[in-house]
């Protein structure tokens, strides 16, 4: 009869933690920080289809590193939980703290009960009215949750990258300045001989939670907008206008009796509508003029 080897619970947990930590450290880092206009997400990502940064709800974003299929399941569960809570109660009841607690319980249960822990490290960020009110939560593979003061780095050589971010981060940074700090921090590791390296724009995944936007604040910065922002050829406002819309649909909550009516739309949309109306009027005038001229050319009947 074969005798089973005994392993103490401490040894089992230590082995699981070492396994998860080693595999997470093999990946590439992601930086999340507060800046003057919101919360910035910057991740080094070679894939254009598999996102490390995504939207959870109106003012809540999600960043993760590690095994993609595992943190994608967590992201999907978070979107469903937030959508259900916002639809059942109120959109204001969906908070980053509640989502972080739900993730912590899930990761903790998997770490202690499953043979293999999740090889993920995630961040849940909620943008506030000012940089001081932003909330950044770091969650590790074992369910540990920590609140970070305005900046955090997850995955890869996080300690070395976090040192650069800590030295140069300020809450009053503009979007371009914050992006430059994040890219410099990500490029400070992984070079030949320990030297810094340049990261092309095509390998960067950049998104923001814009505190100046009402409703859904998550926007991606890609393509020409990202290139111009890296080159310093755009202001923050112009870059925000060129951002692509969020990629995660969120169902609107049902209207309540005491909710105020939404204000009438104005600005760019109103100007576009006026331009369209003027163009239609001009076309109709041309048609009328053509009809009049064609009528004058007809010979008179005798």
**DSSP-derived secondary structure for 19-32:** HHHHHHHTS--EEE
Please provide the size of the chain in residues: 302
Burial track 132-142 (b if 16+ CB lie within 10 A, e otherwise): eebbbbbbbbb
pLDDT digit string (tens) for the chain, length 302 residues:
566 677 888 898 999 999 999 999 998 999 999 999 999 999 999 988 899 999 999 999 999 999 999 999 999 999 999 999 999 999 999 999 999 999 999 999 999 999 999 999 999 999 999 999 999 999 999 999 999 999 999 998 899 999 999 999 999 999 999 999 999 999 988 878 778 889 999 999 999 999 999 989 999 999 999 998 888 744 444 444 545 555 544 445 555 444 454 444 444 444 444 444 454 455 445 545 555 444 444 444 43
Domain ranges of the chain: 11-241, 264-297
Asked whether 118 and 144 are in contact (CB, 8 A), the reply is no
The model carries a pTM of 0.76
CA distance 87 to 37: 28
Which fold would CATH assign to domain 11-241? 3.60.20
């Amino acid at each position: 009869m074969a005798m089973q080897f005994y392993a103490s619970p401490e040894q089992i947990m230590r082995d699981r933690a070492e396994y998860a930590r080693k595999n997470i450290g093999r990946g590439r880092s992601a930086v999340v920080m507060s800046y003057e206009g919101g919360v910035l997400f910057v991740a080094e990502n070679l894939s254009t289809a598999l996102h490390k940064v995504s939207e959870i709800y109106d003012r809540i974003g999600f960043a993760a590193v590690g095994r993609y299929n595992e943190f994608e399941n967590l992201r999907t569960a978070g979107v469903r939980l937030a959508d259900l809570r916002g639809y059942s109660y109120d959109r204001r009841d969906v908070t980053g703290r509640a989502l972080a607690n739900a993730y912590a319980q899930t990761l903790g249960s998997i770490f202690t009960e499953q043979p293999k822990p999740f090889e993920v490290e995630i961040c849940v960020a909620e943008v506030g009215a000012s940089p001081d009110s932003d909330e950044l939560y770091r969650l590790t593979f074992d369910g540990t949750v920590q609140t970070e003061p305005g900046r955090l780095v997850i995955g890869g050589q996080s300690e070395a990258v976090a040192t650069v971010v800590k030295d140069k981060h300020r809450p009053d940074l503009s979007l371009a300045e914050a992006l430059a700090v994040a890219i410099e921090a990500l490029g400070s590791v992984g070079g030949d001989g320990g030297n810094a390296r340049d990261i092309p724009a095509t390998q960067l995944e950049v998104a923001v939670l814009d505190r100046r936007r009402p409703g859904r604040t998550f926007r991606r910065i890609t393509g020409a907008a990202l290139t111009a922002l890296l080159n310093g050829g755009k202001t923050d406002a112009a870059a925000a206008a060129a951002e692509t819309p969020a990629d995660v649909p969120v169902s609107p909550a049902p209207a309540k009796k005491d909710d105020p009516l939404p204000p009438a739309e104005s600005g760019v949309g109103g100007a576009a509508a006026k331009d369209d109306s003027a163009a239609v009027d001009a076309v109709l005038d041309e048609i009328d003029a053509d009809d009049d001229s064609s009528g004058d050319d007809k010979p008179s009947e005798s």
